[in-house]
A and B are shown apart, each in its own frame.
Chain A
Amino acid sequence: MIKMENNFGTILDINLTTRKIQKIKLAPEDIKNFMGGRGLGMKILYDRIKPGQNPFAEDTPLIFMPGTFSGLPIPSASRTCIVTKSPHTSPKKAKYEHSSTVSYSNMGGFIGPEIKFAGYEGIVVTGKSPFPVYLKIEDDNVEIVDAGKFWGMPTDEFDKEFDKELKHEFQTCYIGKAGENQVSYACIISKASKTAGRAGTGAVMGSKNLKAIAVRGTKMPNVANPEKFMKLIDDARIFFKDRTQTQWWRDYGTAGALKPSSDAGSMAVKNYREGTFPDIVNYDAETARQKIWKRNYACYTCHLSCKKSGVVSEGRFKGTIVHDSPEYETGTMLGANLLLTNINDVMKAIYDGDNYGLDIISLGNTIGFLIEAKEKNLIDKDFLDGIDLKWNDIDSVLALIEKIAKREGIGELASKGVKVLSEKIGKGSDEFAMHVKGHELAAWNVHVNSGTGISYATANRGACHLNGKNVEGQNGNALKDSLAICFFATGWGGYDEQQLVDFVNAITGSNWTKEDFFKTGERIFNLEKMLNYREGFTAKDDVLPERFFKEPLTVGEKKGAVLNRKEWEQKMKDYYTERGWDIKTSKPKDETLKKLNLDFLV
């Protein structure tokens, strides 16, 4: 049984239409069942949206959620999850005009703990301001402030200007031009480098005329069992000190995966046509360390410092600041996936994408898709407003990024992602439109790894590499997103489930076992699934792009690798069975929902 000791149990509720600001006590049952972060955010979402609700409707909530661990000195408890209804996804057969999946996106940095310090389990923003505003939250004082002078400002410049305005005392997150313009894959950024990139949260923020949130808090969360908790903290600090993986994160960050992934054929190359990119050595971790990186830096309480900052030191993009790149996702999506070979080109493309506030993953997909469509003569230069889009061509890439952020010309269509583009273009282009449910795939290819396929096909926000490759992994990840612990500090020699369970028990005073850990994650996952199901998402939407079944890899050691359709179909059946979902429709069975205390969904 979760006790409330650690929890303020309060969310801050702000309506930008009525300008009403409230503190709302959460039902203890909700905290017990959904913890915090992604899970609790989903429950709040469920309580507040109707089936088929337009994500851009005024009453759609945009929910900023730290988690159970936030604000406590647990190493790597730095994350914040943003929950809303996705503006970027759609089912094959829409039940409603605005049918879409749930949206959740997660970022590191410092703002999650700060929200906790201000005394809140989360911040829920609804309504729409008639003019651009930002929120200034200092403990119990909440102000809605005119942001007119900041509207349109690129994220990098805004980060600095906003910090000045706030006298350097606040933690912030914000959108760029893409979010303002409601590009459906716009992101929310913090400290110019931490992005809640995926699933269009930035577009929803833009639809509310909300440029930014600034938070400062002077309170502190408590725990049920302080002695036990501090012992766990001491253990955790020693634990990270002794790990070889800690040094790996510091040396390479996720960029350390670029070369190995290419070698293993699991990288997204040439719009996922290939899995290996020999030129990746031009901007893998070793090269970036030599040419670009100057510092490793970390999120709140983190021992890993996976982030790398630096500067482009030569060529036509000399002087371009590198906030955190290449990392695996950005380096692949705006690098290998577009066959870019020059490190400085890749740094510039990522900088521009971030500076407009675009999700680099969906952006890299969109550009890759259009290059392929043009190469195959399904579209011409006119379709692209005269941009001569081709592989390994930075100028056309940069030109397209700008159009997308501004939603000008081709940018209008391209701002909606590959699914909408392929529907418009037709001519079989859907076979290489790399998305699930309208959400683009991440930087891991599937030919050589059907587990990644499961992660993509079954993720509740549409294709997602952080979803988990099997049922247990997915349940565990849903819970980690709710505790606000970073994935990089769990698994692969990081915290195991038992350590996390021990923390949960010391904080909440409950008696969780590992089983409770996974069951809570399963509850969260099924709640999301039911939210999607009522929008019209069924097993027919849990499908991978045809490319993986039809076009074997032609480059690298994994040449010839391709997914076997029969095996895949069996895998999906097994997955539904293990989940306790109907094999044909993918609907969670009543008994499954009841077992998870989700009776209200039956």
Chain B
Amino acid sequence: MEKSKKITDQTRRKFIKQVAIGGGLTIALGNLSFTFISDEKNPLLKKKVIICDFSICAGCKTCEISCSAYNFKNLAGKQTFGLVNPKHTNIKVHQFNPALDIPATCAGCPDTPCVNACPITINQETGEKALYVKEGTMAIAVHEDKCIGCGLCAKACETERVGVIRRNKETGKPEGLCTYCDGDPSCVKNCPYGALSYVTVDTEYEFFGKSPEEIAKILTERFYGV
């Protein structure tokens, strides 16, 4: 089964239609609550995200290290001085044979399948579910106290887009969501090869929202002809 992850014209129309119906999709931005009338008004279309130039990336995993260092510190509430295990990363470098390295991080989908999937009722005051769009960076984030660890967000991301959400082993709550390091991405800053950039999301980009496996398939063919 070929799952389409790119926002094609068709899905875009569907998306707009859904938005028009109004009840189907509410995106909350801080305490500002939006119901879309057209996708042009969707603030998430202006969201800045991390993208990788796969022809430059050398697979050194410095991004994983830097990401873990910055975000795990915040997570654990203690200074870890960059001495981290890269598995705490929100940008995971997937390795393939023949040699290909695909760093995968949240694509910043303007139609947020992850948030849509979250079954928690929208809080009328904040306009937010357990999974919500944060003010400022517009990062997808989780209200730990509201989240029931059902994993539906992870499943949605996995089946429809990149598959970045990991479920915490004990709680089932989502992890691995890019925080954009509060607007100053550590991965971009520290990539020794300059392969990463922090740019406005482009849903027309060839690899937008694709899983690392799908990207690897395309690039393996392109690089190695197999």
Interface residues of A in 232-251 (CB under 8 A from B): 233, 237, 240-241, 250
A192 to B95, CA, bound (A): 12
Which of B97, B100, B190, B225 has a CB less than 8 Å from the CB of A156?
B97
Contact of B83 with A321 in the complex, beta carbons under 8 Å: no
| B37 at interface, CB cutoff 8 A | no
Report A-chain residues with C-beta under 8 Å of the C-beta of B61.
Answer: 110, 300-301
| A191 at interface, CB cutoff 8 A | yes
Residue of B nearest to A219 (CB): B85
Number of residues on chain B facing chain A (CB within 8 A): 30
Report A-chain residues with C-beta under 8 Å of the C-beta of B62.
Answer: 73, 75, 301, 303
Interface residues of B in 27-41 (CB under 8 A from A): none
Which of B58, B190, B226 has a CB less than 8 Å from the CB of A297?
B58
Contact of A168 with B60 in the complex, beta carbons under 8 Å: no
Report A-chain residues with C-beta under 8 Å of the C-beta of B79.
Answer: 226
B185 to chain A, nearest CB (A): 16
Contact of A222 with B59 in the complex, beta carbons under 8 Å: no
| A577 at interface, CB cutoff 8 A | no
Query: In which size bucket is the chain A interface?
Result: 35 or more
A380 to chain B, nearest CB (A): 41
Contact of A295 with B99 in the complex, beta carbons under 8 Å: yes
Interface residues of A in 147-190 (CB under 8 A from B): 156, 159-160, 163, 168
**Chain A window 294-332, contacts with chain B (Cβ cutoff 8 Å), 1 for yes, 0 for no:** 111111111101010111010000010101100000000
B67 to chain A, nearest CB (A): 12
A240 to B60, CA, bound (A): 14
Contact of B83 with A240 in the complex, beta carbons under 8 Å: no
B81 to chain A, nearest CB (A): 4
Residue of A nearest to B95 (CB): A191
Contact of A321 with B98 in the complex, beta carbons under 8 Å: yes
| A55 at interface, CB cutoff 8 A | no
Report A-chain residues with C-beta under 8 Å of the C-beta of B193.
Answer: 303, 305
Contact of A237 with B192 in the complex, beta carbons under 8 Å: yes
Contact of A73 with B226 in the complex, beta carbons under 8 Å: no
Contact of A310 with B224 in the complex, beta carbons under 8 Å: yes
A193 to B190, CA, bound (A): 25
Report B-chain residues with C-beta under 8 Å of the C-beta of A110.
Answer: 61, 95
Contact of A299 with B60 in the complex, beta carbons under 8 Å: yes
Contact of A73 with B192 in the complex, beta carbons under 8 Å: no
Residue of A nearest to B87 (CB): A218
Contact (A307, B99) CB under 8 Å given A73-B65, A241-B192, A319-B226? yes
| B14 at interface, CB cutoff 8 A | no
Contact of A117 with B60 in the complex, beta carbons under 8 Å: no
Contact of A300 with B81 in the complex, beta carbons under 8 Å: no
A484 to B221, CA, bound (A): 35
Contact (A298, B98) CB under 8 Å given A73-B69, A227-B81, A233-B82? no
Interface residues of B in 190-206 (CB under 8 A from A): 190, 192-193
Contact (A237, B190) CB under 8 Å given A230-B82, A299-B60? yes
A297 to chain B, nearest CB (A): 5
Contact of A297 with B59 in the complex, beta carbons under 8 Å: yes
| B16 at interface, CB cutoff 8 A | no
Report A-chain residues with C-beta under 8 Å of the C-beta of B83.
Answer: 72-73, 220-223, 226, 229
Contact of B223 with A294 in the complex, beta carbons under 8 Å: yes
Interface residues of A in 125-142 (CB under 8 A from B): none
**Chain A window 330-369, contacts with chain B (Cβ cutoff 8 Å), 1 for yes, 0 for no:** 0000000000000000000000000000000000000000
Contact of B224 with A75 in the complex, beta carbons under 8 Å: no
Contact of B192 with A191 in the complex, beta carbons under 8 Å: no
Report A-chain residues with C-beta under 8 Å of the C-beta of B87.
Answer: 117, 218
Interface contacts beyond A156-B97, A223-B81, A309-B224: sample of 12 additional A-B pairs, CB < 8 Å, sorted by A: A72-B83, A73-B65, A73-B69, A73-B83, A163-B97, A168-B94, A220-B83, A229-B83, A295-B223, A297-B59, A300-B61, A310-B224
Name A's B-contacting residues (CB within 8 A). 71-73, 75, 110, 117, 156, 159-160, 163, 168, 191-193, 217-223, 226-227, 229-230, 233, 237, 240-241, 250, 294-303, 305, 307, 309-311, 313, 319, 321, 323-324
The 3 closest A-B pairs by CB, nearest first: A226-B81, A305-B58, A309-B99
Interface CB pairs A-B, < 8 A, 7 = A110-B61, A117-B85, A220-B85, A241-B192, A297-B99, A300-B60, A305-B60
